[in-house]
Each structure stands twice: as C-alpha cells, then as structure tokens.
Amino acid sequence: MTTAPAPSDQGGPELRSSLQVRDVRKHFGPILANDGVNAEFRLGQVHALLGENGAGKSTLIKILSGIYEADGGEILLDGRPVQIRSTADARASGIAVVHQHSALIGRLTVAENIALAHDGLGFPRKAVVSRFTQAAADLGFTIDPRRTVESLSVGDRQRVEIVREMMTAAKVLILDEPTATLAPSERDVLFATLRRLADLGSAVILVTHRLEEAALYCDAVTVLRAGRTVFEHEEPSRLSQADLVRAMVGDVRLVAERHTSPRGEIALSAAGVRSRGPVSGMAIEVAQLTVRSGEILGIAGVEGNGQSDLAEMLSGAVKPDHGSLLLHEREIGALPGHERTSLIAYVPDDESLGFSVNLRVWENLSAEEMLYRRPPTAGNKKAMRARSAELVERFNIRPPSIDAVGGQLSGGNRRRVQIAREFSKTPSLVVCGYATRGLDVQSIQQVKNWCRELANGGAAVVYIASDLEEILDLSDSVAVLARGRLTASRPAVEATTEWIGHAMLSTETPSEQTA
Amino acid sequence: MLMSVALLGPIAAVVGADVGHTYSTLFLTSFGSPFGIGVLLIYSIPLVLVGLAVAVPYRAGLFNIGGDGQLLMGAFTAMVVGVSLPGLGAIPGGVLILLLAGAAAGAFFGAIAGALRAWRGVSEIVTTIMLNFVALFLVRYFVAGPLRDPGLTFNASPAVDPGLRIAKLAGNAGIPMSALVAILAAAVVAWWAYRTRSGWAHRMLGTAPSFARAKGVRVEVGYFLALVAGGALGGLAGATELVGNQYRIGFGFSPGWGIDAVAIALLARGNPLAVVPIAVFFAFLRNGGGALQSAVGIPGTVVTLLAAVPVLIVAAVTGWRTYRKFRGEGG
C-alpha cells in the first residue's frame, strides 16, 4: 500500500467534499439491521453517529469499511458513487476505522506496528519513524515510536491507531465507541486530537451512545434507531439533551388507559441496595423498590447505565454487597439453585449467561431440569425431548429441530430458546434484560404479550428495555435507571416525558467507577 | 484412523519394504494369535484408563497433561502399600485396596493442579506437566535408593506379592483380567457423564461456563473435582498396570501413556465410551510398530507417527469448521 504524507497539505475543508450515505439497507434473515440509513459526513467536521445498541451503527460501519456489502442504497464520495466490496476498497476510498478494541500488537514497538500495517514488514525504517513523529506532531502530541505498545496508556494506543490510519491518507476516519475504555481526562485529550484532525481536513465519524459527547464536541449529529436515520442536526450544541434522548429512544406518547389489573401482595422488595456492579463495575444503588404480584415494572434508561448489573442482582445470580433484595420475604441472592431457577425467570442481556452455542436446542431448553430436577436418565431424556419439541413449536423456534446445535441458530432464535425456557416456568419473578433484542417487530409484540400473561398468572415482572414506547406500552409502573441509580417507581400513567427525560439525564451523582 | 493405516502402505513402499508383508505383519502381531491379542490388551488397558483420566477433565474444558505423573504416583503408592503389607495378599480382594490406594494417590496429584486451577487461576496444563516431573523423579529416587530391590541388577522396586496381582488367563501373556478394571471404569464414567445430574453439570461447565455459573453451578468446585477425578483415574491406571502386568516399578514404567492419552481423549471428544476403541487402536499401532521394526525393517517410530494422522485430521476439520463459522458471521 502506498502511503501519502499526513493530510496536513490537503488545504482547507470544502463543504462539498463529503461521504454521503443514501438509503443504505442491510438485512440478516428477517432482521433489518439497516433499513434506510441516510447521512452526510463532511470533511473538516466531527460528526456524531448516535444510537442504542442494535440501532444499526455497527452494521453501517461494517458496510463503510467493506466488511459487509449493503443490500441496497448508495455510498457517495465527493458526490460520486463508490462501490465498497472489500476492506481494500474502503482503504482505497480513504475510509479507515479505529475499532473499540486495540488492533495493535502489544509486544512490538509503535514504529513496528506502523510498519506492519503499512508494508507488512516487521522492521521499521527510519522513514516510518520520522513520518510517524511528524504526523503525531501535526495532531499535537508526541509519542516515542520506539516504545512498545503495551507500555502506552489506553489513550496513547488509540492515538497511535489514529495516526496509523491517517498515515494511509485516510480522509474519513471512523471511531467506534472510542471513549468506552477511556478515563474522563483521556477523553478530553482524545477530543482535542479529533478536533485537530478535522481542522486538518478529515471527516471524523464518532460512533457513540453517549449524548453529552455529541452535544459538547461534535459539529453534526445523526441518530439511528431501529436501522433508520431518525434525526439529523447541524448544530448539536444547540440541542437540549432531552431532544437527543427522544431521538434515540423514541417519542413518548402519554398512556391513555392503563390496565388496572388487581394487584397482589408485594413480591419483590428492595431496600438500601448498594453494590459494585458485577458486570460493569459501576456503583449500583436501589434505595427503595417494590413490585407486586401481577405488576409489570418497566425500567427505562439509556443503555450502559448499570442495566445488566441490576438484572444480575434481581435474578439472584449475584448478591448485592449491601442492602436487602427480597422475593416473598426471602433474600434472592441466598436462594439455592433449584429454588432460584424455578421461582425466577430470567432472560439476560448477555447471551452467554443463558444459552450455549455448543449444546443442542433440547439441552439448552432442559439445562435447569437436568441440573436440579431430573437426572438425564433415558426415560427422563425422552420426556424432556418431548417437552422441548412442544416449546419449539409454541415459541416458534427456527429451525424447528430440538437436535439443532445452538450455534446453528440465529441471534433472534437463540433469544427465543431462552425465552421459551424461562417463560414456560410458573415464576414468582420475571426479569427481562433487553429480552427483545434482535427480534423482529412481531416477535417483540409476542414477548410483551407473554410478559403480560405471566403477570396475570401472578408473577412480578421487571422489564428492562431502552425503547420508551416499548416500556410505556407494556408497563404498569416505570422507574428510571441512570448512572447506576434507580429512581423510585411511579405509575405508568404519571410517567411524563419530562419526568423520564429528567431522570434519565440526572447528573446529581456523577458515576463512580469503582473498577 | 483408517487413513493412518492406509498411509502405511506408501510409506512401506518408499522405504523399499514389501507392502503386503508390512500389512500382514501389522495385523497378525495383534490379531494373529491369542498371544497377540493378549499383548494388544495389555497395551490397551493403561491407555484406556489414562485416556479416561484425560477425558473427564476435558469434558469440563480442562486439559490434564499429567496422566503420566498420576499414573506413576498411583503405581508407586500401590506398590508401597502392597510391599509393606504383605498380609494383604492372603485376603480375598486385597488387590482392590492397592487399586484404591493408587487412585487416591493420583487424586491427590490431581487435587494439587485442581486447587491451583480453581482458586488461583493457574493453568492446569502447566501444573500437570510440572507434576509429571515431580512424580518421575520422586519415584526414580525411591526405586534407585531406599526402595530398590537389592536382588536385582537394575534399578527397580520389589515386586508385589503374587496374591496381590490380577491374573492373566492362559499363561504369562494371555488375556489380562485387569481389562475388566478398564472396561468397568469406562462404563462407570460413561454412566456418570450421561445419566447423572452432576455429569450434566460437568458437561455444562465444559461447554458453557458462564451459562453454568449463571444457573448456579459452582464452577470452582467443578474444576477442582474434575481434576481430582481425572487424577484418580490416572492413579488407577498406574495401580492396574502394576498389579496386572509389570508387578514392579522400574525406570521405564510408563512409555509415555499420558501423552498418547491426550490424543486419545481429544479424538474421542471426551466421550468415555469412544475412549475404549481409540485406545485399543493406539495400542494396535504401538504393538505392530515393534514387530514391523524387527520383521520388515520399517522403523517402529513410523507407526507411532501414524497415530498422529487422525489427530491432525480432527484438528484440521475443527479448524476448518471454526473458520467457516467465523466467515459465516461476516454475513
């Protein structure tokens, strides 16, 4: 690959020069990952691409970087259509990606890594060293290219990757969730670097789900939801965060009528729960919470605010450090396995916690049975297989085979398997952590119906989701999780946009990283 | 595995040997006479048992490379018990005590690696390999020193009392009755693995550790017990070999069964019942290898080398599938 000097001599940004995405579509089976994405990324600007997980950001990046090929739509570079069929095409078009996880080799020096990426040679020549130093200086920092990558901070590694891409004459630099692994101080340095990069004439695309980054540091913003562009704005600094929240998680309709189904006794109660989140390490706090039998509590909030941690604790998989979390007066975290698995139905966000790609469908469906209730003797196996066949039928699992190995199933069907296993119990508590992720619209409705059925059957349901419409459509009451803190719950009819928006963005307690 | 046998022909041709003679020697060595079958079985028994010693932890996702060390400790402990309590020979079933002692010693060795793996995160691959050397030199020290049989011209321990041996039918190289130990062990392990709740928990641990943990399986305890059980089977292998075939321990007690066993367990994909025929196949190659060297002039190592062919094929197929899966995800 030929290399050009750092783009310092490309002249000032022209507004006409841009990367345009028009009506890009991409489907995986029945799932439309990108269903009409439109965006224009201009040279000289830092552009935020916002969206929840699953909104279609990653798919778009993969299309732009040549990993996936779009099913439809156009990509235009400076007004001319380009075909991106491979990563080599993307590079030739000047599009480069810095991925969330470092793609550098830790044992090698910075210069060796750069040389490796450019010429496939392990030994840097002097030219590489000086060009790197120059390019870094253009961006306003110095890193000794003779240091090994593993001796650098996370932020410095990121900057090495940025310089590496810029040395390949990239005009469009995409950064995938670059701040996810950075400390706040490093974050500021990164944005200074990105600003410098834009000033030198590049288009910088910042993929993120953090609103404040878009508002504070970016020149333009595009919001994706459910695979579509739902919002574009040229001056994000003038937007209120509530505007962005609404764009990301959907319009909030007021709930006109609400099921006033007779509520039972208190099933789930939490008091004074404080804990280091088992998944994110974030400090989790639930001051007070009760959910009655027959009640569905929706937990709203922008993703990455401790949802997985809360779900793990509510399901009894992890005991909180302080406070009590009771299910019918019994400490959830202390329930023995056989009781926990029969009393609590839990669909976790993380697939590996409830599904195995190595086990067959019937084994996935019967895993708890075989652990706690029925040893897999020949007779029991026959019964469990028969029951699995019923579940596959009832929950529409495709392919409809109980002997299919987990890995053969699509993401949505893996989720159905988990839902089938958990929802076929007669639980006292149901915990759904993004249970509908990866499912199509029809299936999402089904899942909501099943949740209502379980509630009507006497279960307390905790439903964690990011889509506000989904939550308000289903829930009897709503609480909001922001920065690890769960607000008090209130009836869904009283959950106004203002209240939810305010609670979501509550900045009273800055997140404490105890990691 | 047929492929590896098939490959022998071209190799024989290349080194200038008679292909037909090569094959007939290979097969007749093991199947040509009751004597041949007896030798085949004698080679097979430790391979089956050590194969199980690897297969059990393998099902939990762990690699037990310490089969040789566990086997040596098992044999050594059984020998010490047998020699220091000669009265045992008079008791019917006294030999079972030796087998149990061997299994216990193997389990102890497995427990060291297991505890380090479960609660300290130390790779069991490293610890079991290192423990092999501990066992090897410990046993060498004793059989060349304090426990050396003074009546011998070479370094070896005293032999166990005839009353503490498992007989071979029809003379010295006849059908070894210790085969029953191996078959019984395979059957028990298979029953446990496929028919019990703990066998299932063990399987979940190996195939989906996060899933298992989320559903309440105590992962650390599971890892520990998996290596304890593997060690016990390795120890049993050593004790069985001692009382069923060699009777005393010399420097070359194990020709490297622990390493063959890793290949056997991998080929069996941890299935205890599949371990048996695959172990017999490995024994068949080893048995035939010696004969080919003397009768046909093909180096015995060539045949041992052929044992690697099925391993390579399985590795290639697995690698190919992983590659396909990876590509498939790319849409």
**ipTM summary value:** 0.80
Residue B216 has phi, psi (to 5 degrees) of 95, 5
**Nearest chain A CA: its distance from B227 CA (Å):** 20
C-beta separation of A428 from A460 below 8 A? yes
Pick the residue of B196, B215, B219 with the most A CBs within 10 A to test the interface with A by mutation. Answer: B215
What's the average model confidence in pLDDT over A141-157?
Answer: 87
- In whole angstroms, what is the distance from residue A354 CA to residue A421 CA? 9
* CA separation, residue B268 to residues A279, A465, B258 (Å): 36, 44, 15
| Subunit contact A356:B204, Cβ cutoff 8 A | yes
Give the Å distances, CA to CA, from A266 to A292, A325, A452. 4, 12, 17
Residues of A in contact with B327 (CB under 8 A): none
- Residue B10 CB coordination number (10 Å): 10
Q: How long, in residues, is chain B?
A: 331
B215, A368: Cβ pair inside 8 Å? yes
Q: What is the pLDDT of residue A514?
A: 35
Lowest pLDDT segment from A13-17, A168-172, A468-472: A13-17
**Of A52 and B183, more confident:** B183
Contacts of B321 in chain A (CB under 8 A): none
Query: A491 has which bridge partners?
Result: A477
Q: What is the pLDDT of residue B70?
A: 95
Q: Please give the residue range of the domain that contains residue B169.
A: 2-330
Instruction: Look at residue B159 and give its three-state secondary structure.
Output: coil
If you search the block for the tokens 């961006």, which residue do you land on? A139
For residue A441, pLDDT over 80 is answered with no
pLDDT at A208 exceeding the cut of 50? yes
Per-residue CA distances from B118 to A304, B134, B221, B227, B299 (Å): 31, 21, 7, 10, 43
Q: Which pLDDT does position B204 carry in this prediction?
A: 93
Contacts of A352 in chain B (CB under 8 A): 208, 210-211
Of B196, B330, B331, the CB nearest to A375: B196
Tokens representing residue A297 in the block: 């509590």
Question: Chain A 164-223, CB below 8 Å of chain B: which residues?
Answer: none
Residues 169-198 of B with CB under 8 A from A: 194-197
Coil/strand/helix, residue A252 = coil
| Per-residue pLDDT at A253 exceeds 60 | no
How many CA atoms, within 13 angstroms, populate the side-chain half-sphere of residue B89? 15
Our count of domains for chain B comes to 1
Interface check B137 vs A, CB under 8 A: no
Which residues of A are less than 8 Å from B208 in CB distance? 352, 355-359
A336 contacts in chain B (CB < 8 Å): 216
Rounded-to-5 percentages of helix, strand, coil across chain B: 75, 0, 20
Other CB atoms within 10 A of residue B259 CB: 16
Q: Which residue has the higher pLDDT, A259 or A313?
A: A313
Min Cα separation B330/chain A (Å):
7
Residues of chain A with Cβ-Cβ distance to B322 below 8 Å are none
Q: CB neighbours (10 Å) of residue A35?
A: 19
pLDDT for the residue numbered B325:
58
Q: Are strands A344-347 and A460-464 parallel, antiparallel or unpaired?
A: unpaired
Would you say A336 and A308 are in contact if contact means Cβ atoms under 8 Å apart? no
- Cβ of B204 and A355 within 8 Å? no
pLDDT number for residue A467: 77
The reported pLDDT for the residue numbered A496 is 76
Q: Which pLDDT belongs to residue A22?
A: 92
First to last CA, chain A: 41
Measured in angstroms, the CA of A146 and the nearest CA of chain B are apart by 33
pLDDT of amino acid A119: 65
Sign (positive or negative) of CA dihedral A264, A265, A267, A272: positive
Instruction: Please report where in the chains the tokens 């000097």 appear, as a residue.
Output: A5
pLDDT the model gives residue B326: 53
How many CA atoms does the CB half-sphere of A23 hold within 13 Å? 4
Check if A67 contacts B (Cβ < 8 Å): yes
| AA identity, residue A244 | L
The answer to whether residues A359 and A405 touch, using CB atoms and an 8 Å cutoff, is yes
In this prediction, residues A97-108 reach a mean pLDDT of: 83
Residue A11's pLDDT band (cuts 50, 70, 90)? very low
CB contacts < 8 Å between A and B, how many?
66
- 89-148 of A, contacting B, C-beta below 8 A: none
| A407 to chain B: closest CA residue | B325
Rounded Cα–Cα distance for residues A201 and A197 (Å): 7
Per CB-CB distance under 8 Å, the chain B contacts of A339 are none
Strands A203-208 and A172-176: parallel
The pLDDT of residue A291 is: 92
Average pLDDT over residues A138-166: 86
Model confidence band, residue A4 (pLDDT cutoffs 50, 70, 90) = very low
| Secondary structure class of B65 (helix, strand, coil) | coil
Instruction: Return the pLDDT at B146.
Output: 87
CATH number of B20's domain: 1.10.3470
CB contact under 8 A, B207 and A359: yes
Residues of A in contact with B204 (CB under 8 A): 356, 359, 367, 371
**What local confidence, expressed as pLDDT, does residue B45 receive?**
93
Angstrom distances, CA of residue B1 to CA of A230, A321, B280, B307: 59, 55, 12, 8
CA distance B200 to chain A (A): 7
Q: What gap in Å lies between CA A156 and CA A154, rounded to an integer?
A: 5
In angstroms, the first-to-last Cα distance of chain B is 35
Q: What is the mean pLDDT of chain A?
A: 83
pLDDT at B1: 67
Cis peptide before A399 (omega within 30 of 0): yes
Give A2's pLDDT tier (boundaries 50, 70, 90): very low
Over range A64-88, report the average pLDDT. Answer: 89
- Smallest CA–CA distance, residue A364 to chain B, in Å, is 10
Indicate left, alpha or beta for B269 from its phi (over 0: left) and psi (-120 to 50: alpha). Answer: left
CA dihedral (B146, B152, B153, B156) positive or negative: negative
Q: Closest approach of chain A CAs to the CA of B236, in angstroms?
A: 27
Along chain B (331 residues), what's the average pLDDT of each consecutive run of 10 residues? 71 72 79 82 93 95 93 94 82 86 95 93 91 92 86 84 76 74 94 93 92 90 96 95 87 87 90 93 83 75 75 79 57 33
Q: State mean pLDDT over A342-370.
A: 91
Whether A368 has its CB under 8 Å from any CB of chain B: the answer is yes
Range 194-213 of B in CB contact (< 8 A) with A: 194-197, 199-201, 204, 207-208, 210-211, 213
What's the gap in Å between the CA of B111 and the closest CA on chain A?
A: 24
Which pLDDT score is estimated for A120?
Answer: 57
Give the mean model confidence (pLDDT) for residues A467-487.
86
How far is Cα A20 from Cα A39, in angstroms, rounded to an integer? 6
Q: Is B331 on the interface with A (CB under 8 A)?
A: yes
Answer for the pair A432, A463: CB distance below 8 angstroms, yes or no: yes
**Per-residue confidence (pLDDT) for residue B172, from 0 to 100:** 56
State the Cα torsion A281-A282-A288-A292 to the nearest 10°.
Answer: -60
Picking from B195, B215, B331, the nearest residue to A337 by CB comes out as B215
Q: Is the CB of A353 inside 8 Å of chain B's CB atoms?
A: yes
Mutate to test the interface with B, among A353, A381, A414, A417 (most CBs of B within 10 A): A353
CB A397 within 8 A of CB A417: yes
How close A479 comes to chain B (CA, Å)? 25
Please name the member of A337, A356, A378 whose beta carbon is closest to the beta carbon of B216. Answer: A337
Query: Cα–Cα distance between A58 and A46 in angstroms, integer?
Result: 18
The answer to whether the Cβ–Cβ distance between B216 and A67 falls below 8 Å is: no
Interface with chain B: mutation pick from A358, A362, A409, A414, highest number of B CBs within 10 Å: A358
Beta strand A80-81 with B175-176 is unpaired
Which residues in chain B have Cβ-Cβ distances shorter than 8 Å to A68? Answer: 330-331
pLDDT at B20: 77
Answer whether B323 touches A (CB < 8 Å): no
pLDDT (0 to 100) of residue B192? 94
A-chain residues near B213 (CB < 8 A): 317
| Residue A6 predicted with pLDDT over 60 | no
- The predicted model scores a pTM of 0.73
CA-nearest residue to A62 within chain B is B330
The pLDDT > 90 percentage for chain A reads 21
Quick check: bond before A348 cis, omega within 30? no
Looking at residue A12, its pLDDT comes to: 41
